[in-house]
Amino acid sequence: MDFYAQRTSNIRRTWALITGFLVVVIAIGYFLSWYFNNSFIVIVAVVIALATNVYAYWASDKLVLSLNHARPATREEFFDFYTVTENLAITAGLPKPTLYVIDDPAPNAFATGRDEKHAVVCATTGLLSMMSRTELEGVVAHELSHIKNRDMLLMTVAVVLAGFVAIAANIFLRISFFGGGRRNGEGEGNVILLVLGIVGIILAPLAAKLIELAISRRREYLADESGVLLTRYPEGLASALQKIGAYQMPMQHPNLATAHLFMNDPFGPKGTKGQGSAGWIERLFSTHPPIAERVKRLLHPGT
């Protein structure tokens, strides 16, 4: 499968996951409305989830940069970073994003912002110091692809839905603990619905988180492939990923809330994940696909 077909396939699968998310949200809303005989609780949960995440979306660049202690990158101090981004943005048909750096020896990078006109690309000083120009082009092309593919918007949708599921589940469990809601003596059908609803509401946050992580991993694969289409040189990004994977230490101030935005897990390799031999449970709960698998896809597409 070529890069264009892979990109189309990944986008289709990602939207299928989003659709599954929406089905879960609708099911939870229906159950809560039935259980509590009151739709107001669901409305409150939706409002809280939406308000929190809409604010985070509009202020995403400022929030993410602040959480990661980033500072502006000037042309004079980071000439290659600036010129590489400028040239690739022109090639991609994008406005040049604002550039920031994080003073950290761990090689990493991320893109943020609500749209193409308000985008930010941020890299660690460790990454900028160890990459050749062709490797840096691969990294920047990867991050510009996140912007071009509107990944920030897609991840915001996922976070909104996951936030709703978590809040709704928490409200249900707290009120049920104090004796709220329907009783079991209302017919066999209601008892079955009640049991299924309770099991579902308890497992829903875990399912929502797994879907969110799956979306994040797919976006990394897609950004790798889209980045190669931009540079026409897969070896550059592959070499950069190998250098990033070889670094065994976490970032100095990793943040769980923004981990999925980074090019690689800012908490560092867990077990043998960096070498691509992680167990299925570790991969299931990982925000990023294994480096070895990403390199293999770049250098040997279709295998």
Report pLDDT for 257: 73
**Domain spans, the chain:** 3-60+157-208, 67-151+216-299
Instruction: Please check the confidence at residue 36 and state whether its pLDDT lies above 80.
Output: no
| Catalytic (active site) residue 143 | yes
Where helices occur in 37-132 by DSSP H, the ranges are: 40-58, 60-67, 79-92, 125-130
Contact (CB, 8 A) for 265 and 288: yes
Report pLDDT for 283: 60
From 58-67, 126-135, 143-152, 181-190, the region with the lowest mean pLDDT: 181-190
CA 142, CA 91: separation in Å to the nearest integer?
Answer: 13
And the tokens for 211? 């879907």
Where helices occur in 96-233 by DSSP H, the ranges are: 125-130, 133-148, 151-177, 188-231
- pLDDT category at 104 given cuts 50, 70, 90 is very high
* Burial bucket for residue 73 (CB in 10 Å: 0-12, 13-18, 19+): buried
Report pLDDT for 196: 64
Report pLDDT for 163: 66
Mean pLDDT of the chain: 80
- pLDDT category at 275 given cuts 50, 70, 90 is very low
CA 165, CA 150: separation in Å to the nearest integer?
Answer: 23
Mean pLDDT of 250-261: 87
Report pLDDT for 277: 43
Catalytic residue among 135, 137, 143, 212: 143
Most confident of 15-24, 81-90, 180-189, 212-221: 81-90
Q: 51: Cβ–Cβ under 8 A, 6 or more apart, which residues?
A: none
Each residue's pLDDT tens digit, 132-178: 999 999 999 999 999 988 887 677 666 666 666 777 677 666 666 66
Instruction: Please check the confidence at residue 190 and state whether its pLDDT lies above 90.
Output: no
Q: What percent of the chain has pLDDT over 70?
A: 66
Each residue's pLDDT tens digit, 203-243: 766 766 666 676 778 889 889 989 999 999 999 999 999 99
Contact (CB, 8 A) for 261 and 110: yes
Mean pLDDT of 189-213: 65
Count how many Cα atoms sit within 13 Å of the Cα of residue 285 in the half-sphere of its side chain. 6
And the tokens for 80? 């290659």
CATH architecture of 67-151+216-299: 2-Layer Sandwich (3.30)
Mean pLDDT of 190-204: 64
- pLDDT category at 250 given cuts 50, 70, 90 is very high
Report pLDDT for 129: 97
CA 176, CA 170: separation in Å to the nearest integer?
Answer: 10
Contact (CB, 8 A) for 113 and 214: no
Most confident of 8-12, 30-34, 93-97: 93-97
